[in-house]
Amino acid sequence: MHTPLAKTAHTLTSKRGSWLVLGGIVVLVALIFGLLSGAGEDRANETAPADSESTQAQKILDEFPEADKQSVMVVTSNEDGSELSADDQADLKKLGTSLGESVGDESTETVTGPILSDDKQAALLMVPITVGLTNSDTAETVNDLRTAIADDPTASGLTG
């Protein structure tokens, strides 16, 4: 009756043995949960491997520091469809400068234009903006641009 199986059965069923086994199981489970609790956490101080896609993408972005810049095309014309006069073109140049100051950013890019169409009835201004992280952010910048155009006195009589 003193076989290993009998000793194990006696240890598990005795008062003292069952408490020891239960305590051992609790300690073992606590250790397992303690070791596994940090397995999925992000660690800010760890960097991605050099051959990972995110590291490669960051290297490419570093090569193009102005990658978050785009130009918005502002097309203007007279409300009556007539040719843009020299005064209109001067007003558009002023408008381009004020747009660059109101919604432009610290980049070295400046507003390009006005570029006249062949029939001189329309002109194009290229206004550099910083692209937002989301489409909503970029749309907000474009709306700010529209507001700046509407509020600018040199834009009166122009459509676009």
Q: pLDDT (tens digit, 9 = 90+) per residue, 110-139?
A: 788 788 999 989 999 888 887 777 888 888
Mean pLDDT score, 50-66: 80
46 vs 96 pLDDT, higher one: 96
Count Cα atoms within 13 angstroms, Cβ side, for 92. Answer: 27
- Tokens (6 digits) for 59: 């290297």
155 vs 11 pLDDT, higher one: 11
pLDDT of 26 strictly over 90: yes
Cβ atoms of residues 116 and 70 within 8 Å = no
Mean pLDDT score, 21-49: 78
- H or E stretch at 113: strand 112-116
pLDDT of 52 strictly over 60: yes
| Short-list 156, 160, 149, 104, CA closest to 130 | 104
Q: pLDDT (tens digit, 9 = 90+) per residue, 80-106?
A: 888 888 888 888 888 888 877 776 555
- Tokens (6 digits) for 143: 């709306």
**Cα–Cα dist 27/23, whole Å:** 6
pLDDT of 160 strictly over 70: no
> What pLDDT sits at residue 68?
72
Percent of the chain with pLDDT over 70: 82
Please check whether the domain covering 69-159 is classified as CATH 3.30.70.
Answer: yes
Give 78's strand partners: 158
> What pLDDT sits at residue 14?
86
Instruction: Give the phi and the psi of residue 149 in degrees, each rounded to 5.
Output: -65, -45
Q: Where are the domains of the chain?
A: 69-159
Q: Which residues of 57-88 are buried (b: 16+ CB within 10 A; e: fewer)?
A: eeeeeeeeeeeeeeebebebbbeeeeebeeeb
